Structure 1
Amino acid sequence: MKRQRLQLFLSLIMLVAVLATSCSKKTISPLGNSLFSVNPSPLELVGTKVPVTINGRFPAKWFDKNMSVVVTPYLKYDGGEALGTSYTYQGEKVAGNGTVISQENGGAITLRSEFNYTPAMKKSELYLRFAFSRDGKTIPGFGDLKIADGVNSTAGLASAATVTPATAPDAFQRIIKETYDADIMFLIQQAELRSSELNSSNLAAWKDLVKEADDDARKNINVEVSAYASPDGGLDLNEKLAEKREKNTTDYLTKEFKKKAIDTEINAKYTAQDWDGFQKLVQASSLQDKDLVLRVLSMYPDPETREKEIKNISAVYSDLAETILPKLRRSRLIANVEVIGKTDEELKSAVNSDMSGLSVEELLYAANLDGVSKEKVYTFVTQKYPNDYRGWNNLGAYYYSNGQAAKAVQSFNKAAGVSSNAPEASMNQALLSLAEGNTAKAEQLLGNASGANSLGEALGLLYIQKGDYNKAVQSFGEAKSNNAALAQILTKNYNKAQQTLNGVSKKDATTYYLSAIVAARTNNTSGVVGNLKSAIDQGVSASSILSDIEFAKFLTNSDVKNMLLK
């Protein structure tokens, strides 16, 4: 009995020893962060995402043939963490779908992830988390491995608030040109003025219009007389006929103008054979064989040959003689009137006294004159012309540019409601979407904004938010704005970026902050110090600078430290 107990005891000792030896072989050695590299380093915000590629390797003799491990990159920041894409790796004896790692040789690995950016990630750390298992059971491993610090969030400085909103144009013209005409008709081969023509209501109305324009101090007028003969009858006959018609008409008007005290010059000319008028009338007619006539005109440039060939088409010529040719025997009277609009001073005076007498075009133009209240004028336009989207749109643009976001949204929405397809309304709706980070909706709206002024700025911001920085630079063109400079920084064109920042007309905290980034990236310590000081004076907090990787290597500088500790 004692012998059996002794044998059992020895067997238990041996089993414990075997198990202990087995477990000791399965202990997982920690990995060092020197085995892993991160690209980009530091991580960078691209559009609204933080992409990362992690390259690493499992060393030789490290990976157990029966073991699996799930590796998950994650960003840890104050208040939370963001998980990346998990990757599974397995030993050579594991049946599964993971990537097999040789125990003898180890193996290289690549992990790609993309995190949705939040501002808190500006100060963050990139870790790898390892979850081990053997034979389908979880086994203990080692703690998470830190492999990188922080996210460069410079791209996040793009702002919809500084984009110039689109304003709808006015159609105001200082001088408006108007043309009024009347015809005096003649009988075939005659140049005498007939009383039936001279007493027509059409001619009377034309003369009254000339008199009214001549009497109006805001109108300039000149009169033209163009006399014609129809193309039939021969060139010599028609030339004399057209000349006589012109003279008789001019003499008549001269007497009439003197009688009515109209002081304007008369410019007269005549055309012997009105082939151009003939062709236009034929083209506009319903003649059965008009294509045949038009073909003759194109084939024969010589007037006599034309006339002969057309007369040879006997079936057509009778219709031409009845419906087309009589309309060409005429003197055309043309009154060219220039309407002179109000001066800038007159418009400003009206805006400050009584706007009710101004047209919508005058109002929209006057809103941009120095010393005029845009808000006052555009508000009046929305009241007097509520169905003209331009008043609502431009009022919204005024509010937007002056930081009154809620009022801007209301006005932009009203403009879109009145005319949803107007390019300016579409662009400003896109701005609201960009401010919300909704690039898909903004892109759709900008597709309807062709022709809107400042469209390039909106497109530039869209491309920054989408992470396409080269297209952003192209869209901004030569614009002098913070966003344009940011696009140039993101494409590493630092000289151009600083030139753009120097040209910004209203420099703000972001302007100086971006200049400090340019200085930091070009190792200009004095530029970093000076621009950060200006940025702080404009309201940038010391904490935001301390957490910005752009300035990490300058935080030990005494001038920077003293400035941030104030």
Structure 2
Amino acid sequence: MTKKLYLPVLVALVVVLSSCGSKMRGLSSDYFTTNPVVLEAVGGKVPVTINGKFPEKYFNKKTVVEVTPVLKWKGGESRGKTAIFQGEKVQGNHQSIAYKMGGNYTMKTSFDYVPEMAQSELFLEFKALKGKKTYTIPAVKIADGVISTSELIKNTLGSANPALGQDAFQRVILDAHKDNIMFLIQQANIRTNQLSKAKDFKNQVQSIKDAVNKRISSVEVSAYASPDGGVELNTGLAKNREKNTEALINREFKKGDLADVVVDGKYTAQDWEGFKELVSKSNIQDKNLILRVLSMYPDPEKREQEIKNISSVYSTLAKDILPELRRARLILNYEIIGKSDEEISKLAKSNPRELNIEELLYATTLTENPAEQEVIFTKVTEYFPGDFRAYNNLGRLAYQAGNLAKAESFFKKAYSINAAPEVNTNLGLIALVQGDNATAQTYLGKGAGAKELNEIMGNLYVAQGDYNKAVSAFGDVKSNSAALAQILAKDYNKAKNTLDSIKNADAYTSYLKAVLGARTNNNAMVIDNLAKAVKQNPSLAKKAATDLEFAKYFTNVDFVAIF
């Protein structure tokens, strides 16, 4: 949108310049535009582009004019970059303005934002120089105030989610017990010296079945033949080894209380995978050549022949590798069942030393009471002082309670133990709250792997004025900061959805809804939510009363009544 300002005050400029010998006619008006039309804080700055025009027969050929943007407010001002223009007969390197044709010009400048700029005015100050004489012309106002919605990031940061040092608690842990029954070459009968293995395996299965906190998942017998010899021979061998081993295990199970345990049997005729694994782990000569043969020849008979052709190592294979593949594997898969939530919660209060560190950290997720969580985390720091997570999480609680100094202290303690991604992310958040974006970026650059990193990066991008990047970083996070980024990026539908989905809505949630209402011309949304915001946080009344987001409501009876 273009803003047209009539500037009769510039008549004074014409008069002064005419007194320098110019034949300029009187000037009734001039045009200036600013982009944006209403100035806006972006990343802690107030950038503005000013487009102006020197009209025809206006600019004295021997005159230099300095134009300086100045943002003024009650009790202060900030001066922008001066632009210098010169007449046609002036020797210099500045933009030359023709007397007959006049000329257009563009100025870009930026001011460091301060809160007082919300009620400010942007002026252009002119100074004309001809020879040794200087003429100061009255300033011309070209814009009103600064929209400071982006600065709300300093308020919404309080509801950001610091990174959590998560527990690794698993209620169900998968485990396995394995053993092998070995066979002689080209034999499937189970030798006497292997029978004890079946008995030991049976005892292991029985102990798992009898354990209160363990549960059998499956019992497997997997028989193999080594890849030397023909496929037909090896198929018969592997099949008979599986049959004999399964029968032996079933007989052992019937001796105990295991008759109901099902044994799943299978066989592999030629164990090329096992052969490859053993060769890879060995130090035998020409190991790489053997592995290359396996990759080049998929046909089992061709593989066997090529390997036998490597006569220098085949005797080693026959002695050290192949005998290990003539086996039946006994596999017991089972689950270790951890304590119930009720047990963990109870022990965390009554006897926390009975819990390991993962159980203690998990216990904090079973209560929503910050005081109870703090007690448990403190116990963890006493029992396990070498673990960073409890210190980090105590800092998280302090941050959420609004105690930034305490939070920073805990985060630094956690950092001294382990500079983990979560800790770096949280120290980055602290730096961001302190307004130190450069330090925040350094810490966050080491936060890869922290679950909450993207959310904190979203806050940083808002503070830097990169709103589209912020929206992308926030993703589906439902927070005040995420909604703020979406409003600033003009994604109003997404912002509304985010604001409506915030769990712990506060005064700034309501204020942002009011801003959204103003930008989408929803009067009821503005009035209702501003009233709610001011009720929740009376200090917002002063901000709202001068916030240019609500400029068109300043004379609205309902709006005024809120204050």
TM over 0.5: yes
Instruction: Check if 1:368 corresponds to 2:362.
Output: no
Query: C-alpha displacement at 1:349, in angstroms?
Result: 1.3
Query: C-alpha displacement at 1:380, in angstroms?
Result: 1.9
Indicate conservation of the 8 Å contact 2:199/2:252, yes or no: no
Query: Letter of the aligned partner of 1:143 in structure 2?
Result: P
Aligned to 1:491: 489
Long gaps (5+) in structure 2: 1-14
Aligned to 1:270: 267
Instruction: Check if 1:182 corresponds to 2:179.
Output: yes
Q: C-alpha separation between the residues in 2 aligned to 1:163 and 1:72?
A: 41
Report the TM-score, using the length of structure 2 for normalisation.
0.88
Instruction: Check if 1:393 corresponds to 2:392.
Output: yes
Query: Letter of the aligned partner of 1:466 in structure 2?
Result: Q
Relative to structure 1, is the Cα distance of residues 554 and 306 closer, same or farther in structure 2, using a 3 angstrom cutoff?
closer
Q: C-alpha separation between the residues in 2 aligned to 1:261 and 1:345?
A: 32
Aligned to 2:158: 161
Q: C-alpha separation between the residues in 1 aligned to 2:486 and 2:309?
A: 74
Which one of the candidate residues 82, 101, 126 is aligned to 1:130?
A: 126
Aligned to 2:115: 119
Instruction: Check if 1:340 corresponds to 2:343.
Output: no
Q: C-alpha separation between the residues in 1 aligned to 2:138 and 2:424?
A: 53
Query: Letter of the aligned partner of 1:376 in structure 2?
Result: V
Query: C-alpha displacement at 1:516, in angstroms?
Result: 1.2
Indicate conservation of the 8 Å contact 2:395/2:411, yes or no: yes
Relative to structure 1, is the Cα distance of residues 128 and 309 closer, same or farther in structure 2, using a 3 angstrom cutoff?
closer
Instruction: Check if 1:101 corresponds to 2:83.
Output: no
Query: Letter of the aligned partner of 1:128 in structure 2?
Result: L
Question: Secondary structure of 1:168's partner?
Answer: coil
Pairwise mapping of residues 67-106 of structure 1 onto structure 2 (< 5 A)? Answer: 67-106=63-102
Indicate conservation of the 8 Å contact 2:121/2:145, yes or no: yes
Relative to structure 1, is the Cα distance of residues 333 and 95 closer, same or farther in structure 2, using a 3 angstrom cutoff?
same
Query: Letter of the aligned partner of 1:433 in structure 2?
Result: A
Instruction: Check if 1:25 corresponds to 2:19.
Output: yes
Report the TM-score, using the length of structure 1 for normalisation.
0.87
CA RMSD for the aligned pairs? 2.9
Question: Secondary structure of 1:553's partner?
Answer: helix
Indicate conservation of the 8 Å contact 1:33/1:147, yes or no: no
CA displacement 1:299-326 (0-9 Å, x = unmatched): 5444444444443443332222111111
Q: C-alpha separation between the residues in 1 aligned to 2:523 and 2:16?
A: 59
Aligned to 2:426: 428
Query: C-alpha displacement at 1:62, in angstroms?
Result: 3.6
Relative to structure 1, is the Cα distance of residues 207 and 393 closer, same or farther in structure 2, using a 3 angstrom cutoff?
farther
Once the two structures are overlaid, the 10-residue window that deviates more, 270-279 or 528-537, is 270-279
Aligned to 2:169: 172
Question: Secondary structure of 2:423's partner?
Answer: helix
Once the two structures are overlaid, the 10-residue window that deviates more, 555-564 or 204-213, is 204-213
Fraction of identical pairs, as percent = 49
Query: C-alpha displacement at 1:258, in angstroms?
Result: 4.9
Question: Secondary structure of 2:52's partner?
Answer: strand
Q: C-alpha separation between the residues in 2 aligned to 1:118 and 1:31?
A: 36
Which one of the candidate residues 288, 296, 312 is aligned to 1:315?
A: 312
Instruction: Check if 1:54 corresponds to 2:53.
Output: no
Query: C-alpha displacement at 1:210, in angstroms?
Result: 3.7
Question: Secondary structure of 2:275's partner?
Answer: helix
- What is the aligned length? 540
Question: Secondary structure of 1:144's partner?
Answer: strand
Q: C-alpha separation between the residues in 1 aligned to 2:199 and 2:557?
A: 91
Query: Letter of the aligned partner of 2:403 in structure 1?
Result: Q
Indicate conservation of the 8 Å contact 1:33/1:145, yes or no: no
CA displacement 1:42-78 (0-9 Å, x = unmatched): 1011111100111222334443333323221111123
CA displacement 1:334-382 (0-9 Å, x = unmatched): 2212101111111111112111121222222221114563222222222
Aligned to 1:456: 454
Long gaps (5+) in structure 1: 1-20
Indicate conservation of the 8 Å contact 2:17/2:60, yes or no: no
Question: Secondary structure of 1:88's partner?
Answer: strand
Indicate conservation of the 8 Å contact 2:421/2:446, yes or no: yes
Relative to structure 1, is the Cα distance of residues 310 and 456 closer, same or farther in structure 2, using a 3 angstrom cutoff?
closer
Query: C-alpha displacement at 1:437, in angstroms?
Result: 2.5
Aligned to 1:8: none
Query: Letter of the aligned partner of 2:71 in structure 1?
Result: L
Aligned to 2:411: 412
